[in-house]
Amino acid sequence: MKKIFWAELRLLIKNSTALWLFITYLSLSLIVLVVGKQRYNHELQAYEKLEIKYNQDVKKWMEKKNNASPGYIAYYLAQPAFFTPSPWSILFPGERFEKLNLQRVRQLSVHGQIHGNPIRNLEHSLIGHLDFSLLWLYILPLMIGIITVTCIAEEKRLGRWLLLSSIASTKKIILNRMIVKFLIISCIHLCVLFIAQSTLPLPFDITFIKITSILTCYTLLWFLISAIVAFLHLNARQSILIFTIIWISFSWLIPSLHYISKMNSDAYNTGIEFLLDQRQLMNDSWDRDKKSDLAEFLNQHPKWQKTDPLGEKFDWKWYYAMQKNSDNKVKKRVEKYFSQMVNTDSLWSYLSPNLVTQSVLEDLADTSASDYQLYLQALVNWHGDNQEFWFPYFFFKKEYKSEVLEDLSPFIFHPTNKPFLKVAIYWLLMFLLTTFLLYIIVFMRGKALVNKKLNSF
């Protein structure tokens, strides 16, 4: 077994096509690392710019000492809210660049501010990003197929199959050939991960181990799929065709069906629904009876009930109460909108290991749609907490001192870790299934086919 292994390794090293393929794959991985780092830095720089601007604004308001009105400050002061990227987002940016991860939030209605799209060249979104999700989950399987799926068919075409079977068990030879290739690809992955870990701010923690394990499992799965196809003993053309059909189904067809299944009419227009409702309630309130509107607000929020009655002049407490009212009115619709953002829970998605692995890696890198949903929810909660800070100035006429602006809480958000058990069970099932299929093909059908060929020869 050892002898065959080393012989196969020597053969592979002498195969210039395979070597070039590995070198190209490694180079592309390094390019993706550089691209990812550049994107990550751009995000951090943007946040820094916004922080500087915010500090300048706070300083400006503080320079006005106690003369400034809290109502005006709350109206104008835009606090930065940043979904701090996990260093793993360098590798798996997911949906991060299609979402507003950096925002300026004022004390107006939160839902009138936080929904929208980032500035980007829309045609770039259409083409998509170059990242490790693409490289490892979509290009890698095709590479595995190109280098392994014809290993039996090619030997047969060159007339070496019978010769090989006389030297050793062909199963052992093919198995060793696959193991050598699997080990080389895994080494490239480890190399890239260690380069990434030493040159980028990636921590060597449980996430590192999880990502390495997922990647190894994923690579192994595609080797198993390739082995199943190879042991069908078809010709090279048929083997590659079957492998490519599997690849297209897992990488494009099933994800497309998953996407189409999520594009039901229920999901359309929830965004515009709550946006219109929120704006309408807020703007209509200027023409309604302000006193009764405020009374209704105080009934719903008894905490602020001990406030003075509303006078005839404009009062900030009424204004902010209406902003909050408009948010409350659309709360349920927003919850529905948030739940529709999470796009992984369809049966179709479980049929594609690419899609499942992609969502797991994006979850680990905090760049999935569900992470963004959690971020928006945290933003809404933080906005609510900040209202608690400002409302005593409007409702209880609390004395304003400019130093209090330093006490405004910054937005901090860390997504919680997602359960890993479901994924582990999925992987276990996938391995059991593929190994079972391989067993059937190699030891039963394959054996029969080889015997038949040998007899006829």
Find the shortest distance in angstroms from Cβ 387 to another protein: 21
By beta-carbon proximity to another protein, the closer residue of 126 and 421 is: 126
**Greatest CA separation for the chain:** 104
Q: Which amino acid is at 104?
A: R
By beta-carbon proximity to another protein, the closer residue of 99 and 233 is: 99
By beta-carbon proximity to another protein, the closer residue of 120 and 447 is: 120
For tokens 């229920």, the residue is: 266
By beta-carbon proximity to another protein, the closer residue of 348 and 431 is: 348
Q: Do the Cβ atoms of 426 and 356 come closer than 8 Å?
A: yes
Find the shortest distance in angstroms from Cβ 114 to another protein: 9
Find the shortest distance in angstroms from Cβ 28 to another protein: 7
Find the shortest distance in angstroms from Cβ 264 to another protein: 9
Find the shortest distance in angstroms from Cβ 272 to another protein: 5
Spatial distance between the Cα atoms of 419 and 261, rounded to a whole number of angstroms:
25
Give the C-alpha distances (Å, rounded to integers) separating 25 from 21, 30, 145. Answer: 6, 9, 14
Residue 51: Cβ within 10 Å count = 13
By beta-carbon proximity to another protein, the closer residue of 52 and 448 is: 52
By beta-carbon proximity to another protein, the closer residue of 244 and 435 is: 244
Give the C-alpha distances (Å, rounded to integers) separating 391 from 257, 305, 448. Answer: 49, 12, 81
Residue 174: Cβ within 10 Å count = 21
Q: Do the Cβ atoms of 1 and 172 come closer than 8 Å?
A: yes
Give the C-alpha distances (Å, rounded to integers) separating 442 from 218, 224, 394, 445, 450. Answer: 21, 11, 77, 6, 10
Q: Do the Cβ atoms of 25 and 188 come closer than 8 Å?
A: yes
By beta-carbon proximity to another protein, the closer residue of 207 and 244 is: 244
Find the shortest distance in angstroms from Cβ 317 to another protein: 17
CA dihedral (174, 175, 177, 178) in degrees, to 10, reads 120
> Residue 104 forms beta bridges with which residues?
80
By beta-carbon proximity to another protein, the closer residue of 59 and 120 is: 120
Find the shortest distance in angstroms from Cβ 186 to another protein: 21
Find the shortest distance in angstroms from Cβ 373 to another protein: 9
For tokens 């990434």, the residue is: 196
By beta-carbon proximity to another protein, the closer residue of 49 and 398 is: 49
Find the shortest distance in angstroms from Cβ 99 to another protein: 8
Find the shortest distance in angstroms from Cβ 418 to another protein: 17
By beta-carbon proximity to another protein, the closer residue of 272 and 347 is: 272
Say if residue 374 is exposed, middle or buried (CB neighbours under 10 Å; 0-12, 13-18, 19+).
Answer: buried
